[in-house]
């Protein structure tokens, strides 16, 4: 039997790299789409998959190139991660952010519509579209996006739903809460904390400046989340899902625990400075994992404590 074919958009990012590895292990033929091929495959090299998939260079905003890629590699499954994925940067680059997420998603949906695509499509949505979640968010939680990034994710989530309902395209959104791995972009706060703490353990004079520590997040492990995404496409009914752990912790707790694991007191090294606070910080962001557990039997095994252990273990080994 011919192996299944998957097209991974944003294949060089954290989730893109991890899902490529997971799909290859399951015997898929994987085609990765990258905005730029050159000097960008470090994660694939670390995961030792650099020779196992075909990489095509295309910007998701470029409909004609994307159509060519699609027509020469008609996939069974498409995973769309391509995005300018930093909330902070989206205030500085709103056009690039919205174009990469909304136009990119619309392009792939339009290609699916015009080609009567019979496969399945996953879109990486974001918990940011909810804004603050005072209670664990389910799919029907009120939406209050507070950044250009969140607005783009909300619009794309609605487009995916529209194309599913109107054109019967088999497409779904996984609304992702924060998920980490050693492959996360280095500018994300969790990477800054873990790498900073390791530096503090070797150089006791190290000082780290950060923004608001009084924000609460639901942190999970990326390698588990990419398995949930695949289960969503295997399901009989195409249904949007929240992918999360359901555990809420403050950034201060994340920092304290990370430093404690290295026998350090974070108060000796970390300063929280108001000048670094975001314009519109979300205070609480937590999801309800019960629906996905009930529907797909998926449950996060790793919560904040284990996530920190795994990040520290990797960084200490590879520093
Ligand atoms: P990354 O930033 O690591 O990966 C995104 C990838 O998309 C990058 O490789 C980037 O390439 C690529 N990309 C950006 N713009 C374009 C474009 N116009 N055309 C083609 N490719 C493009 O993100 P993650 O892997 O962490 O996240 C995966 C997805 O999940 C993203 O959509 C993100 O917004 C979403 N998400 C992630 C969360 C998390 O905690 N990680 C939480 C919630 C949602 P380049 O680097 O060259 O720009």
CATH no. for residue 262? 3.90.25.10
Separation of CA 145 and ligand 1 centre (Å): 18
The tokens for 40 are: 């960008």
User: Do 309 and 263 have their domain in common?
Assistant: yes
Separation of CA 132 and ligand 1 centre (Å): 22
Residue 81 CA to residue 101 CA, distance in Å, equals 9
Predicted pLDDT at 90: 96
In a domain, 274, yes or no: yes
In a domain, 87, yes or no: yes
- The answer to whether 142 and 130 have CB atoms below 8 angstroms apart is yes
Which runs of E-coded beta strand occur in the chain? Answer: 5-9, 29-34, 54-57, 77-80, 120-126, 170-176, 179-180, 208-210, 216-217, 220-221, 241-243, 249-250, 270-272, 284-285
User: Do 174 and 99 have their domain in common?
Assistant: yes
- Closest-CA residue to 242 (of 164, 307, 295): 295
Which residues line the pocket of ligand 1, CB cutoff 6 A? 10, 12-16, 35-36, 40, 59-61, 81-85, 100, 104, 124, 126, 176, 178-179, 184-185
In a domain, 293, yes or no: no
Confidence of residue 280 (pLDDT cuts 50, 70, 90): confident
Task: Identify the active-site residue in 79, 149, 163, 284.
Answer: 149
Task: Identify the active-site residue in 85, 100, 126, 181.
Answer: 126
User: Do 207 and 226 have their domain in common?
Assistant: no
Active site residue 313: no
In a domain, 49, yes or no: yes
User: Do 205 and 151 have their domain in common?
Assistant: no
User: Do 251 and 130 have their domain in common?
Assistant: no
Task: Identify the active-site residue in 77, 128, 224, 247.
Answer: 128
User: Do 173 and 210 have their domain in common?
Assistant: no
In a domain, 295, yes or no: no
Predicted pLDDT at 143: 97
User: Do 126 and 173 have their domain in common?
Assistant: yes
In a domain, 153, yes or no: yes
Residue 128 CA: which ligand 1 atom is closest?
A: 43
User: Do 166 and 43 have their domain in common?
Assistant: yes
With a cut of 90, say whether residue 318 has pLDDT above it.
no
Predicted pLDDT at 37: 78
The CATH number linked to 164 is 3.40.50.720
Separation of CA 14 and ligand 1 centre (Å): 7
DSSP-derived 3-state class of residue 72: helix
Active site residue 285: no
Residue 104 CA: which ligand 1 atom is closest?
A: 18
What's the structural domain count of the chain? 2
Q: Which residue's alpha carbon is nearest to atom 41 within ligand 1? A: 179
DSSP conformational letter for 268: G
With a cut of 80, say whether residue 279 has pLDDT above it.
no
Where b means 16+ CB within 10 Å and e means fewer, 146-177 reads bbbbbbbbbbbbebbeebbeeeebbbbbbbbb
As a whole number, mean pLDDT of residues 299-308 equals 98
Q: What is the 3-state secondary structure (H, E, C) of 122-133?
A: EEEEEHHHHCCC
User: Do 256 and 147 have their domain in common?
Assistant: no
User: Is-above-0.75 flag for pTM?
Assistant: yes
As a whole number, mean pLDDT of residues 199-205 equals 92
Instruction: Indicate the top mutation candidate among 8, 13, 183 to test ligand 1's pocket, ranked by most ligand atoms within 8 A of CB.
Output: 13
**φ, ψ for residue 120, nearest 5 deg:** -125, 150
User: Do 41 and 117 have their domain in common?
Assistant: yes
Which structural domain range is residue 96 located in? Answer: 5-179+220-243
pLDDT digits (tens, 9 = 90+) for 66-104: 999 999 989 999 999 999 999 999 999 999 999 999 999
Predicted pLDDT at 3: 92
R_g of the chain computed on alpha carbons = 19
Residue 230 CA to residue 244 CA, distance in Å, equals 15
In a domain, 58, yes or no: yes
Active site residue 115: no
Residue 172 CA to residue 232 CA, distance in Å, equals 8
User: Do 234 and 127 have their domain in common?
Assistant: yes
Separation of CA 246 and ligand 1 centre (Å): 23
pLDDT digits (tens, 9 = 90+) for 227-238: 999 999 999 999
pLDDT digits (tens, 9 = 90+) for 24-53: 999 999 999 999 877 789 999 999 999 999
- The answer to whether 127 and 137 have CB atoms below 8 angstroms apart is yes
DSSP-derived 3-state class of residue 190: helix
Q: Which residue's alpha carbon is nearest to atom 7 within ligand 1? A: 82
User: Do 236 and 268 have their domain in common?
Assistant: no
Q: Residues of the chain with pLDDT > 90: what percent?
A: 92
In a domain, 294, yes or no: no
Cα–chain-centroid distance for residue 166? 27
């Amino acid at each position: 039997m011919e192996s299944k074919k998957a097209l991974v958009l944003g294949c060089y990012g954290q989730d893109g790299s991890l899902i490529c590895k997971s799909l290859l292990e399951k015997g898929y033929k994987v085609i990765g789409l990258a905005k730029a091929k050159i000097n960008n495959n470090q994660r694939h090299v670390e995961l030792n998959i650099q020779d196992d998939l075909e990489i095509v260079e295309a910007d998701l905003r470029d409909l004609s190139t994307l159509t060519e890629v699609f027509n020469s590699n008609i996939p069974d499954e498409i995973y769309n991660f391509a995005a300018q994925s930093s909330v902070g940067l989206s205030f500085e680059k709103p056009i690039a952010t919205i174009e990469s997420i909304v136009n990119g998603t619309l392009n792939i949906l339009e290609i699916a519509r015009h080609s009567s695509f019979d496969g399945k499509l996953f879109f990486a949505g974001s918990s940011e579209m909810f804004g603050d979640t005072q209670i664990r968010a389910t799919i029907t939680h009120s939406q209050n996006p507070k950044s250009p990034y969140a607005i783009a994710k909300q619009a794309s989530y609605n487009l995916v739903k529209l194309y599913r309902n109107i054109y019967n395209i088999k497409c779904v959104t996984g609304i992702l809460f924060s998920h980490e791995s050693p492959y996360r972009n280095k500018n994300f706060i969790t990477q800054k904390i873990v790498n900073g703490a390791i530096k503090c353990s070797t150089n006791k004079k190290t000082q780290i400046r950060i923004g608001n520590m009084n924000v609460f997040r639901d942190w999970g492990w990326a390698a588990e989340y990419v398995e949930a995404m695949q289960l969503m496409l295997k399901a009989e009914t195409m249904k949007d899902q929240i992918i999360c752990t359901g555990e809420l912790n403050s950034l201060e707790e994340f920092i304290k625990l990370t430093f404690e694991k290295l026998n350090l007191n974070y108060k000796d090294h970390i300063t929280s400075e108001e000048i670094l606070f975001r314009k519109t910080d979300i205070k609480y962001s937590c999801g309800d994992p019960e629906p996905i557990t009930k529907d797909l039997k998926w449950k996060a095994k790793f919560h904040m404590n284990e996530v920190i252990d795994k990040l520290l273990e990797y960084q200490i080994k590879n520093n």
